[in-house]
Amino acid sequence: MRHLRSPSRHARIVASVAAAWVAFASASAHGQEVRGPTPYLSTSAFLRDLTARKPGAKPALRPPNDGRGVDFSRYGPSRFVDHVRATPLEIGLAAAAIGVVGVTDWKWGGARFHWAKEGFFGKNTHNGGMDKLGHAWTSYVLTEMLAERMAANTDGLSGAHLSAAIVAFGIMAGVETGDAYTRRYGFSRGSVADGAGVALALLRGAFPKLREVMDYRVTAKFGDDANSIPKVGGGRTVPAYNRQRYILAIKGSGFEGLKATPLRYAELQFAYDTRGFHSVERKLGIKPQRNFYVGVGLNLSELLFGEGPVPNFAPARDTELVWAVEHALRYVQVPYTAAYARRR
């Protein structure tokens, strides 16, 4: 007699996700909104009220829409101070996270201050430009996330993107200074890439339509796609550059003519990565390669949380968990959700 095997762990996970999907889809069909506990918002508000000029209302997960974009006319030093005072948790977490990576991965403090000629995307550079794209992505994400929280924690006080840009650029200037005290890197004029990421975030703040049609993301590569070499980046907090790919995604959901079609869930993607620049790859005799890609990707954020015809988790957009996942998908492309044609 054959014994029935109990469901595997993966099967139970799939079943749980499916059940959650059905529950949220049912709630959506009845026009219900799903809410949950807000430990992050409560902590953020508590710390804000300790440093702000006066206590404020509990912030929303999503700031009110501000059609003014980047408002230079009303911006000044006092506005910057108000924004910074409203986000001590977020600024502190960002600085601490980057500091941990700097000390553990980049070995800050391992050498005396020195300059370096890093170059940009040349074959004789350390990373073929991946470091520049990485720093641009980091400063871009920092600016956008801080701008959103500054606006939310001040009930829509204008100029949040400008304040966030100043803070993000300051944090990244600290990163470049830390690199100057490492053996591998050094202080470089190529650090203007940080400014490029900040500028992109400012453009998206100034022109909200740009946020609807374009995202800048990073993805991780696995297996042969990641250049299968022994223990590259083993024990690192962040994957080595040879395991990363940077993507510019043009989203179908941002175009009115595509919103009523399945193409709202599709994206046209342009990507870049390298091979042969890592020290282990060089020792193995792998020649440096700079790879450019054009492909089609799946917009998971739109599929899972958008207000389209497909039942999804949109009713739970005001829960902190869904908010966090939605933001992660805005800046990170899930592996194996896009197909590319490569040109070297």
Contact (Cβ atoms closer than 8 angstroms) between residue 182 and residue 108: yes
Question: Cβ neighbours of residue 149 under 8 Å, at least 6 residues apart?
Answer: 44, 59, 86, 87, 90
> Rounded CA gap, 166 and 20, in Å?
41
Q: Which residues touch 305 (CB under 8 Å, ≥6 apart)? A: 312, 313, 314, 317, 322, 325, 326
Banded pLDDT at 3 (limits 50, 70, 90): very low
Overall average pLDDT of the 2-7 stretch: 40
Q: Is residue 111 within 8 Å of residue 181, measured between CB atoms?
A: yes
| Domain-wise residue ranges, the chain | 9-343
From 66-70, 96-100, 160-164, 219-223, the region with the lowest mean pLDDT: 66-70
Amino acid at 20: A
- pLDDT band with cut points at 50, 70 and 90 for residue 1: very low
Which pLDDT does position 2 carry in this prediction?
39
Q: At 205, give phi and psi (nearest 5°).
A: -75, -40
Residues with Cβ < 8 Å from 196, sequence gap 6 or more? 136, 139
**Has residue 10 got a pLDDT over 60?**
no
How many helices and strands in the chain, by DSSP H and E? 11, 5
Would you say 269 and 247 are in contact if contact means Cβ atoms under 8 Å apart?
yes
Q: How far apart are CA 228 and CA 240, in angstroms?
A: 13
